[in-house]
């Protein structure tokens, strides 16, 4: 799995056959939607923590 962080203007998704579904969520709510300890959860947690350090 590869994780990316990107800043985008909200728009419609174009989902490929490899993706079941996708939704926009606020970063602050993203951890609640992921299984704790999963790769995705770890990526989001790292992004949130790095964002807090810059404030």
3-state secondary structure of 26: coil
Closest by CA position to 51, among listed 33, 28, 34: 28
Average confidence (pLDDT) over 31-53: 91
Q: Which residue has the higher pLDDT, 33 or 4?
A: 33
How high is the pLDDT of residue 2?
66
pLDDT of 1-19, one tens digit each? 566 677 778 778 788 888 8
Q: Which residue has the higher pLDDT, 15 or 48?
A: 48
Enumerate the H helices of the chain as residue ranges. Answer: 27-30, 39-53
């Amino acid at each position: 799995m590869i994780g990316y962080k990107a800043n985008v203007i909200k728009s419609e998704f174009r989902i490929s056959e490899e993706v079941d579904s996708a939704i926009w969520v606020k970063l602050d709510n993203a951890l609640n939607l992921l299984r704790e300890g999963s790769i995705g959860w770890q990526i989001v947690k790292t992004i949130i923590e790095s964002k807090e350090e810059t404030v």
